[in-house]
Amino acid sequence: MTLRDDRRSHWGSLHDAWQEAAAADAGGRRAAKEPLPAAVVIAIAEHRLHAVRVLRDALDREPGLRRRIGALRPHARDAQGRNWNIPAPDRAAPARAGYETELGRVVDAMRDQFDLA
């Protein structure tokens, strides 16, 4: 591992700790902010901006990543208490490997969390 990779790993762990703290504050209380040196704040900001650029570049190169959800399909409540689903993705557009599995995981989690009104 290079020094650059070590630094990214370190800043990534700081980011993970920040996200865990934000998730733990689900009760609406505002947790005390952790004071960080300016260099650390700059490094975290640069890391996040880099991640956005990487994602945008990937979306530009792989049109299959930009798939849109066309419609939800309401149905009678099933055994898991779900009342909607998303139809199978359009097969006309090329999909990258594993897309349908990832979509299924996302949709199942959302169906567990949300009812269609």
Using pLDDT thresholds of 50, 70 and 90, give the confidence band for residue 76. very high
Distance of alpha carbon 77 from the chain centroid:
27
3-12 residue pLDDT tens: 555 555 566 6
Query: Within 13 Å of residue 33, how many CA atoms lie on the same side as its CB?
Result: 4
The pTM score is 0.43
Nearest Cα to 117, choosing from 80, 74, 62?
Answer: 74
Angle CA 54–72–62, to nearest 5: 25
- DSSP letter string over 15-46? HHHHHHHHHHTTTS--PPPPP--HHHHHHHHH
DSSP 86: -
7-60 residue pLDDT tens: 555 666 666 666 666 665 555 555 577 888 888 888 888 998 888 888 888 877
Residues 6+ apart with CB under 8 A from 6: none
**Structural domain boundaries in the chain:** 3-61, 70-113
Residues 6+ apart with CB under 8 A from 15: 44, 47, 48
